[in-house]
Amino acid sequence: MDNKLKEAGLLMSENKEKKLMDMMSTAYDDTEVTKCPDLMELLLKSATELNNEEPYIKVVTQLGRGISDHYMKNGRNLPNVMTAIYHFIQPDMKEGSINNAALRQKAIGYGIASMPAMFGFFSN
């Protein structure tokens, strides 16, 4: 039974990868996307990484960040095909990201660790 579950999970992952590759291929040929060199490069890099069997979560996390960067840098303007890709990968991106609470805890830890250096507790 366990092997069947693993095979089903693998098949689902392969289906997601295939669907994403199809969507990226369509986007790469889209006339609005071809006007955006950063998106073209992002799509090519992501497709290459998937073909080279990089972990799906890693690829979609980087792809999602790249799409978000383009969106913010270009006056919140994004071609429709890229919006569709973003919505497709969004549920999976959450698995590969650090949430705000974890980032806050990390920042607090760095702050506490740097206090002795800032206030000279180790000096004579």
pLDDT tens by residue, 43-80: 999 999 999 989 988 899 999 999 999 999 988 889 99
When pLDDT is cut at 50, 70 and 90, the band that residue 11 belongs to is low
Confidence (pLDDT) at 44: 97
Give Cβ neighbours of residue 49 (< 8 Å, ≥ 6 apart).
Answer: 58, 59, 62
pLDDT at site 98 = 47
Distance (Å, rounded) from C-alpha 111 to C-alpha 118? 10
Taking CB atoms within 8 Å and a gap of at least 24, the contacts of 34-38 are 36/70, 36/74, 36/79, 38/66, 38/69, 38/70
Of the two residues 34 and 4, the one the predictor is more confident about is: 34
Q: How confident is the model at residue 87 (pLDDT cuts 50, 70, 90)?
A: very high
Q: Give yes or no for residue 105 having a pLDDT over 80.
A: no
Q: Which residue, among 77, 90, 70, has the nearest Cα to 23 in the 3D structure?
A: 90
Q: What's the full length of the chain, in residues? A: 124
Query: According to the CATH classification, is domain 2-97 in 3.20.20.30?
Result: no
Handedness of CA 77, 45, 99, 90 (dihedral sign): positive
Domain ranges of the chain: 2-97
What pLDDT score was predicted for residue 37? 96
DSSP track, 59-86: HHHHHHHHHHHHHHHTTT---HHHHHHH
